[in-house]
Amino acid sequence: MHFDPRTQHALREVGLSAEDIEAAAEIAVEAAREEAEAIELFFDTQREVVSDMEMAHSDTDHQTHVVEYIDLYTHADDIRGYLRFDGWGVPIEGGRVLEDGKCVELSLGSTIDDRVRFGRDAEAL
């Protein structure tokens, strides 16, 4: 189970049984797996994406990136992996699909260390 001990205690205090807590944990794990699949599908179907990432020496609000691949895995309710663009890449430490699949928000790892939205075009952001 991925709930920390304090959360498990709080869930028991509000009346959930151990079976209910385990069921909630399984639902959270499945939701993370489905979200990771949806994120991968978004990037797998796009040759180029636009982001709101702040980049040094850029005077535009939106950046265009050529997608090479995305590789995600889940551990409990965590989504992690790697996103590779043309010439550079970044670790992923979480994410979600927004706007009915028109936009994805990712928590990018130490080289960026920020939440960044990616869309099919600038209007999606």
pLDDT tens, per residue, the chain with 125 residues: 678 889 989 999 999 999 999 999 999 999 999 999 999 999 999 889 999 887 655 667 788 999 999 999 999 889 999 999 988 899 999 999 997 788 999 999 887 888 999 999 888 88
For residue 73, the tally of other CB atoms under 10 A from its CB is 12
Cα gap 101→41, rounded to integer Å: 9
CATH dotted code for 5-124: 2.70.180
Cα gap 44→29, rounded to integer Å: 22
| Residue in the structure block whose two tokens are 């709101």 | 52
| Residue in the structure block whose two tokens are 């944990």 | 25
Full-model pTM:
0.85
Confirm if 116 and 51 have CB atoms less than 8 A apart.
yes
